[in-house]
Amino acid sequence: MDETELKDLLLRQNEEFRKLHREHQSCEKKLEVLSSKSFLTEDEKLEEREIKKRKLALKDRMYVLMTQFRGGK
């Protein structure tokens, strides 16, 4: 099973993975809005850094779930 198939399976079967994925997508959309601006205020720069950190944490947790699923844990 490749990574895409595994993600699709977990999106269907695992509520935690679904929630993480939705939040990850939300972070991505927020970052797109910020990156479309020609200039960011200091508050927006801080927000961007925080969103990136959160997005990475979400991705890490999704990876853990994928690894656990592959290993049968």
CB 55 within 8 A of CB 27: yes
How many structural domains compose the chain?
1
Per-residue pLDDT of the chain (73 residues; tens, 9 = 90+): 899 999 999 999 999 999 999 999 999 999 999 999 999 999 999 999 999 999 999 999 999 999 999 986 5
Domain of residue 54, residue span: 3-71
Please state, in angstroms and as integers, the Cα–Cα distance from residue 26 to each residue in 32, 58, 72, following that order: 10, 11, 29
pTM confidence score: 0.89
